[in-house]
Structure 1
């Protein structure tokens, strides 16, 4: 298919505006700038980005962000009959899966998708996707404890250090702590805070990679915006192997271009 038609079908812009993007050298296919109108690509194989932001060419892929409430397990079908994620995906016909997990007592941002490749990159700890949590914990957390969290502590399954940690609020009986981590280890925030003497009372994940929970109410789900999706796909592609070998077919001559 012609590149400008592929971009228009993907919702990047109209056919005419997409042509302008191409001529201006703002479009890359498999990492190579394509600035000739009439270039043809294979949407099922080639990777396209505009201004450095990845574009999803497969319109069958669905990307949803959910503010998971507490009391819900992170699975599409729980064998023990507990509340699961199916109730939040009824409006989408595709079969969606959760990217990673939040334990039942933790609320916050969870990504649901039918894009298996993206899900693998985002969920696998080796790719280092960061997550931001807000934890309400017992007791007054001191600056020394915050420093200890970033310096590193020893847990039963090995050492761990927060990428960032900061104290948001402290009262006589509890504190609010923001932790940024790229670890995918089980219940890691709860175990870290317990290890420094401040057990978690409430925990919410506010950010996952480039995605922010924002004002999305608990128990509500929505599709990603084009900006969010572009940022997520760009992050995903950086974590994968090199893009496929170029499948760009350039036109024989400029005067054969008709649309």
Structure 2
């Protein structure tokens, strides 16, 4: 018995993501807007399936050349870059940064950021052309741990920090028409937080399993403190180990760890970032006095 055509192959948005055209979510938009053709026919239904090895699939007239080799990078995003591929305000983007660093002779893989860091934030950002993995990691259900160093103005009280650990109500960022146009409020998930440097403007190490818009800034604003700097230094099992503006390709083991995290499996980093030690300024151990033959003084 012949398998019905609608049940053969893969979903079209998955094929586009695997080919590096876009993330799966953006691929859905391309389909709905009529940018995609399969064997000469415009497709606008998200449930459409196709065979990338047999069907001719075009996006805006350009023929897909099959599955693109997946690439995975860790980028240390500097402050003052937008986490997107293009910006209507013409601000520099992470895509511009990587294209410039990789040079004109690099492979033409179209890389997309996983998650976001706002314009003023810096640190670890994943860049990949693997749309499936990016989509899985972006889902809140994955619960991937993200670790940040946060510098705030003023010294929060111990009670306020405990409030952040338990979860605090913040502005969700969207209007609720049923409540006279007021913005929705939401309680954040419990967070891990500890102070790593004191002073009038202390630094905190903060680990979240969420990624709400401007969440960290809103959390500290709720307890009365302005956030001066945010630096992401951990994502799942990854720890930031490149200089600002630089990037490196992930190892096969790191990619496997990301895949496990995307499935909701707990992955623990094997080492901590050296920057933690720099912030905490540990006291170096005293060196033992070397005994010289004939030296009878007591140490």
CA distance in 2, matches of 1:59, 1:230: 18
Q: SS state of the match for residue 87, structure 1?
A: helix
CA distance in 2, matches of 1:200, 1:226: 36
1:163 aligns with 2:187: no
Of residues 93, 115, 118 in structure 2, which corresponds to 1:103? 118
Q: SS state of the match for residue 137, structure 2?
A: helix
CA distance in 1, matches of 2:239, 2:193: 17
Of residues 76, 86, 94 in structure 1, which corresponds to 2:95? 86
**Cα offset for 1:210?**
1.4
**Cα offset for 1:191?**
0.5
User: Residue 237 of structure 2 corresponds to which residue in structure 1?
Assistant: 210
1:201 aligns with 2:228: yes
User: Residue 128 of structure 2 corresponds to which residue in structure 1?
Assistant: 113
- Residues 152, 86 of structure 1: alpha-carbon distance in 2 compared, 3 angstrom cutoff: closer
Give the greater-gyration-radius structure (CA). 2
1:123 aligns with 2:138: yes
Q: 5 Å matches for 1:116-155?
A: 116-155=131-170
TM-score, normalised via structure 2 length: 0.57
Q: Would you say the 8 A contact 1:124–1:184 is kept in 2?
A: no
Runs (4+) of structure 1 exceeding 4 A deviation are: none
CA distance in 2, matches of 1:162, 1:176: 19
Q: 5 Å matches for 1:18-97?
A: 60-90=69-99, 91=102, 92-97=107-112
Q: Would you say the 8 A contact 2:167–2:191 is kept in 1?
A: no
Q: Would you say the 8 A contact 2:114–2:125 is kept in 1?
A: yes
Q: Is there any run of 5+ residues in structure 2 with no aligned partner, and where?
A: 1-52, 54-66, 172-184, 266-299
Q: Which has the higher contact order (CA 8 A, sep 6+)?
A: 1
CA distance in 1, matches of 2:95, 2:150: 27
TM-score, normalised via structure 1 length: 0.66
Deviations 1:178-209 (A, max 9, x none): 11111121000000011111210111111111
Q: SS state of the match for residue 155, structure 1?
A: strand
User: Residue 254 of structure 2 corresponds to which residue in structure 1?
Assistant: 228
What number of residue pairs does the alignment pair up?
Answer: 181
User: Residue 187 of structure 1 corresponds to which residue in structure 2?
Assistant: 214
- Residues 150, 67 of structure 1: alpha-carbon distance in 2 compared, 3 angstrom cutoff: same
Q: Is there any run of 5+ residues in structure 1 with no aligned partner, and where?
A: 1-43, 45-57, 240-259
Q: SS state of the match for residue 96, structure 2?
A: helix
**Cα offset for 1:237?**
4.2
Q: Would you say the 8 A contact 2:154–2:225 is kept in 1?
A: yes
